[in-house]
């Protein structure tokens, strides 16, 4: 039995007086495709941002790929991770956001080469060759020299995916990556994610309101409410036979709002 690639143990996250995650624990196996669903404000983005070290935790432990994320071993004990440790751990994880956050003054190719050259010291020629492979994979090779402002939303998001892949992460996090897109552009981005799921053994965590996509893509669905996992299971079980009242209510609402399940 392999060990989990992500192990979240009893984490607490507060914003001032607000406790967003109150003793959350969960594990993700290597290669697993996980969809996080749940109402607005339930903590889905917070979990991804914590894994990406964009937010600090107030308690608990997280292990990524066999190593503590926010702690490190020192003199036989665990101490808070320093910036160098966080930097090293960050390379294991890539994240794609709802709003693409591309560097506006860099062309598509340079958006992708920047991090590998700066953080890993990869030579320009090698970084550019890899960028072109990734752009080819997301169907954007012909736009390598374009500026972000010249791209459609779907194209920007495909570049953002290529950029996140450039550091060869073991884990990819996707936070509502299609929800800012015009409907006709959604499918081209979902197709890239389908391809990644099919052709790589990356572990993928997806936050989405696209229930149809979550159903097809995920090995396991986690339904969150108020910072807790209310229900989890295989897509067919969660979507066809949700056991918990709160899951049923949520699914009724998203279906009423026109989302396909
Ligand atoms: N920087 C912040 N400062 C204060 N409160 C925050 C901050 N970020 C998030 N929160 C609060 O934490 C809770 C969880 O937010 P989070 O963004 O994780 O929810 P979500 O499940 O991603 O929701 P949505 O589906 O709307 O994206 C919410 O109550 C939110 O208002
Ligand atoms: Mg969110």
* pLDDT tens-digit map of 204-236: 999 998 999 999 999 999 999 999 999 999 999
Ordered by start, the domain boundaries in the chain are: 101-168
Rounded distance between C-alpha atoms, residue 38 and residue 30, angstroms:
23
For ligand 2, a single-atom ion, which residues have Cβ within 5 Å? 45
Which residue's alpha carbon is at the smallest distance from atom 2 of ligand 1?
A: 15
Ligand 1 center to 126 CA (angstroms): 39
Average pLDDT over residues 12-38: 96
For residue 77, name the pLDDT band (cuts at 50, 70, 90): confident
Mean pLDDT confidence for 143-158: 96
Residue closest by Cα to atom 5 of ligand 1: 15
Pocket test for ligand 1, best of 36, 44, 209, 230 (most atoms within 8 A of CB): 44
Helix, strand and coil in the chain, % to nearest 5: 40, 25, 35
pLDDT category, 163, cuts 50, 70, 90?
very high
Could you tell me what percent of the chain has a pLDDT over 90? 85
Helix (H) or strand (E) run with residue 72 in it: strand 71-74
Measured in Å, residue 100 CA sits from the centre of ligand 1 at 19
Q: What is the dihedral sign for C-alpha 105, 88, 53, 129?
A: positive
The pLDDT of residue 242 is: 94
């Amino acid at each position: 039995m392999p060990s989990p690639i992500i192990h979240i143990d009893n984490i607490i996250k507060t914003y001032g007086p607000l406790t967003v995650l109150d003793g959350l624990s969960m594990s993700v196996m290597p290669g697993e495709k996980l969809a996080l669903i749940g109402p607005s404000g339930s903590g889905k983005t917070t979990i991804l941002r914590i894994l990406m070290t964009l937010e600090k935790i107030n308690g608990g432990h997280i292990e990524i790929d066999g190593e503590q994320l926010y702690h490190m071993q020192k003199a036989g004990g665990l101490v808070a991770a320093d910036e160098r440790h966080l930097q090293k751990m960050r390379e294991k994880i890539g994240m794609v956001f709802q709003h693409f956050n591309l560097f506006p003054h860099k062309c598509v190719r340079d958006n992708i080469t920047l991090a590998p050259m700066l953080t890993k010291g990869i030579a320009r020629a090698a970084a550019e060759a890899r960028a072109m492979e990734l752009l080819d994979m997301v169907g954007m090779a012909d736009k390598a020299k374009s500026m972000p402002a010249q791209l459609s939303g779907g194209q920007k998001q495909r570049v953002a995916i290529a950029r996140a892949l450039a550091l060869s992460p073991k884990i990819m996090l996707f936070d509502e990556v299609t929800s800012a897109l015009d409907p006709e552009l959604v499918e081209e981005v979902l197709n890239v994610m389908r391809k990644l799921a099919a052709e790589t053994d990356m572990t993928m965590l997806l936050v989405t309101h696209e229930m149809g996509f979550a159903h097809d893509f995920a090995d396991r669905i986690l339904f969150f409410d108020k910072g807790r996992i209310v229900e989890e299971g295989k897509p067919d079980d969660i979507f066809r036979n949700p056991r918990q009242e709160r899951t049923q209510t949520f699914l009724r609402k998203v279906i009423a709002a026109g989302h396909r399940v």
